[in-house]
Amino acid sequence: MKYMLLINAPSADFDNGCVVEDWVRFGAEMKDAGVWVSGHALADLTTATSVAVDADGQRSITDGPLAETREVLGGFEVIDVPDLDAALDWAARCPGSRGGGSVVVRPIAEF
């Protein structure tokens, strides 16, 4: 089953002490285990643009995320594992889950 790991930080300037090598190692571990499907780090929050369409079909565009939140989505990984327990194990191994960060695990709907 496929799961998305949504890697969150409590703020835009959050530093949990992880270095690039931690992320490279985590990516290699997922690939070596054959569970990695895709994933990317996201560019700085200030580069985000939100789009909303009203009932009349009119598009409005605003800079940044629409929702007011302290938590910042920093990236994602899609993994293919047997069950939720395996997905939770991979989320716990993610460098983004350390030092105040968090990883949200969501099953991917298959239609």
Question: What tens digit of pLDDT does each residue of 38-50 get?
Answer: 999 998 877 888 8
* pLDDT confidence of residue 63: 83
Q: Tell me: the pLDDT tens digits for 48-81?
A: 888 889 999 999 988 876 556 677 889 999 999 9
Whole-angstrom distance, CA of residue 81 vs CA of residue 79 = 6
- Looking at residue 75, its amino acid is G
Whole-angstrom Cα distance, residue 94 to residue 100?
12
Q: What is the pLDDT of residues 12-42, one digit of tens each?
A: 788 899 999 999 999 999 999 999 999 999 9
pLDDT of residue 80: 98
| The residue type at 51 | V
Quickly state the pLDDT bin for 10 (edges 50, 70, 90).
Answer: confident
pLDDT at 54: 93
Tokens of 59: 């598009």
Closest C-alpha to 27, from 89, 94, 74: 94
- What is the value of pTM for the model shown? 0.85
Residue 89 has pLDDT above 90, yes or no: yes
User: Cα(74)–Cα(70) distance, rounded to whole angstroms?
Assistant: 12
